[in-house]
Amino acid sequence: MTSDRDQILSEFIDAWNAGRRPDVDDHLARVPEQERAELADQLVSFLSFAPTPDYDEDALAAIRAEPIVADALAAPSTRGGLLPDLLVRLRERLSWTTPQVAGELVRELGLPDDQAGKTASYLRRLERRQLDPSGVSGQVFEALARLFGVPPNELEGAADLGGWASGPARARTAMAFRADDRDAAEAVSEDLELLADALHAPGDAARDEVDDLFLGGR
Amino acid sequence: MPCEPDHLLLRRFASARDRGDVEQARQLWEQLAINNFDRVQQIVKAFRFSPGGPRLPEHEHGSAASEAYIRVMSMGANFRKREVGQFYAALVTCVQNSCRDFGRKELRHERHVAGSVDRTFDPDGDAGPYDAALAAYDDHLREQARDALDAERGRVEAEGLVAWAIGQVRNNSYREVLELTWFRKLSAAQIAGELGISVENVYARRSRGGKEMERILRDLRS
């Protein structure tokens, strides 16, 4: 005995396999309310291990043009890779401000509370692509991962598409970006908020533990 | 040019990574992520916090899909598996973790301590719903290797986790329909013609066979 739900599931499967990009919501809307949960579970089961659809060129072009995909594809060519976008999303999902993240982060790292301002400055610069994450220590990634509840390797992977770069290459990049970081601080000096950040920006004269954590590399 | 299947992209990705060609590895992972964007987006839409339970609020779908997609892109840097079923398992875990994190937003916000509330990442805990199946599948591969049945091992590796799971489905008629759906991508009408059964029968077998396959992949501990 078949049901409408079975038929709609099958129609989704056929459309998926043919590369017609079926929409879950459209299919759920076709079954009575009381059957939607079960159909949703079956669709997740199928989608979890469904074969690669037979996308044609038009379908692939449409996927590339999806805003989520287009943004993600553009990120690797910019400073920080996907990390700035990911940090902002994780922070906003928690409805936290950057100073709030910094406050939690200094506690996670066992730093004095009065380092929260400088830490917030570094976090802002990371989010704004003004700081290269190859200089950020593994301790910071691990602490952020604990705060946001994500695997540390996802954050590191987002940073430089990550394990992609070899160790020595990363170190060279980190060294190169230290000079750039100073340039970036100068470039944003007209911005009042960033001017305040710049007061905390790293300098060769008085480099402390926070500077090392954000500039010393992994 | 039609899209390259995931299993071939993953194999080329692993080769590029192993020989240190990071740029090609990055491009291949990017293509894998493009191939799987709909999988990410549609799982977010269908996601339930528990079987039959509530969905994510509709206004969160876009944000959850966006975060999940970035996390899938980021996964490539450390991904070491070579088999497409293992890739899908990791992807689904990543997407479902993102969805659960969105569901916890309110609670986290109230407590103001993200990491302490039912954290999704526990280095010592179960990372995903298919871990048991993956472990059993790995054991199966190791067993094949121990027995030195090279030809058989090669066949199992080629067919992968999904084929292995379908092979565990006990009902022959369900299994037949799943194989034609997954490996030959035949439509319900084509399967009905090939097997000489009604299309309604195909719908029912797909539905029941799919449920059994899901149980096999999730419940291997028992």
Q: Mean pLDDT highest for which of A106-120, A191-205, B122-136, B144-158?
A: A106-120
Domain-by-domain residue ranges, chain A? 4-65, 78-215
When mean pLDDT is compared across A31-40, A99-108, A163-172, the lowest value belongs to A163-172
Nearest to A72 among B43, B70, B105 (CB): B70
DSSP per residue, A76-87: GGSTTTTHHHHH
Nearest CB neighbour to A1, from listed B35, B46, B204: B204
Confidence at residue A96, expressed as pLDDT on a 0 to 100 scale = 92
Q: In this predicted structure, what is the pLDDT of residue B135?
A: 66
Distance of CA A26 to the CA centre of its chain: 29
Name which of A12, A21, A31 is nearest B187 in CA terms.
Answer: A12
- B114-148 burial: b if 16+ Cβ within 10 Å, else e: bbebebbbeeeeebbbbbbbbebbeeebeebeeee
**Who among B20, B38, B188 is closest to A14 (CB)?**
B188
Task: Supply A43's token pair.
Answer: 């669709």
- Mean pLDDT lowest among A84-98, A139-153, B111-125: B111-125
Predicted structure pTM score: 0.77
The partner residue sitting opposite A9, judged by closest CB among B2, B102, B207, is B207
**Read out DSSP for B195-215?**
HT--HHHHHHHHHHHHHHHHH
Would the CB atoms of A165 and B22 count as touching at under 8 Å? yes
For chains A and B, CB pairs below 8 A equal 230
Q: Is the pLDDT of residue B8 over 70?
A: yes
Rounded distance, CA A82 to CA A85, Å?
6
Q: Is residue B196 within 8 angstroms of chain A, CB to CB?
A: no
Give chain A positions within 8 Å (CB) of B1: 57
pLDDT (0 to 100) of residue B148? 46
Mean pLDDT of the residues in chain B: 81
Determine contact: B101 vs chain A, CB below 8 A: yes
Which CATH number, 3.40.630.30, 1.10.10.10, 3.30.1330.20, 2.40.50.60, labels domain B132-218?
Answer: 1.10.10.10
The answer to whether the beta carbons of residues B178 and B166 sit under 8 Å apart is: yes
**Got the DSSP string for A51-68?**
PPP---HHHHHHHHHSHH
Confidence class of residue A166 from pLDDT cuts 50, 70 and 90?
very low
> Which pLDDT score, from 0 to 100, does residue A73 have?
87
Q: Cα–Cα distance between A69 and B35 in angstroms, integer?
A: 11
Interchain pair B51, A155: CB under 8 A: no
Which structure tokens are listed for A93?
């999902």
Nearest CA in chain B to A76: B26
Percent of chain B surpassing pLDDT 70: 72
pLDDT at residue B100, rounded to an integer: 87
ipTM rounded to 2 decimals: 0.80
Q: Note the pLDDT tens digit of each residue in A30-81.
A: 999 999 999 999 999 999 999 989 899 999 999 999 999 998 888 767 778 8
Helices (H), A98-166: 98-109, 116-127, 138-148, 152-160
Mutate to test the interface with A, among B9, B11, B40, B74 (most CBs of A within 10 A): B74
Cβ contacts of residue B220 below 8 Å, gap of 6+? B132, B133, B135, B136
Task: Provide the Cα torsion A43, B134, B155, B6; round to 10°.
Answer: 50
- Cβ contact, residue pair A158, B85, below 8 Å: no
Cβ B166 vs Cβ B213: under 8 Å: yes
Higher pLDDT, A99 or B59: A99
Residue B55, helix vs strand vs coil? strand
Facing residue for A7 by CB, picked from B112, B162, B203: B203
Tell me, what amino acid is at B195? L
Question: For residue B65, with 0-12 CB atoms within 10 Å meaning exposed, 13-18 middle and 19 or more buried, which class applies?
Answer: buried
Q: How far is B155 from chain A (nearest CA, A)?
A: 18
Q: Express each pLDDT in B22-58 by its tens digit.
A: 889 989 999 999 999 999 999 999 998 887 788 888 8
pLDDT greater than 70 at residue B172: yes
Partners of residue B165 in chain A, C-beta under 8 Å? 49
CB contact (8 A) between residue B101 and residue A49: no
The pLDDT tens digits for B203-217 are 999 999 999 999 998
Contacts of A102 in chain B (CB under 8 A): none
Q: So what's the pLDDT on residue A20?
A: 96
Question: Would you tell me how many other CB atoms lie within 10 Å of the CB of residue B157?
Answer: 13
Paired with B48 in beta bridges are B55
pLDDT at residue B146 in the model = 52
Determine, for residues B26 and A161 on separate chains, whether the beta-carbon distance falls below 8 Å. yes
Which residue would you say has higher pLDDT here, A206 or A185? A206
User: What is chain A's mean pLDDT, rounded?
Assistant: 82
pLDDT for B91: 94
Partners of residue A89 in chain B, C-beta under 8 Å: 63, 66-67, 70
pLDDT per residue as tens digits for the range B108-167:
544 444 443 344 444 444 456 666 666 666 665 555 555 544 444 444 444 578 888 999
Q: What pLDDT does residue B159 have?
A: 54
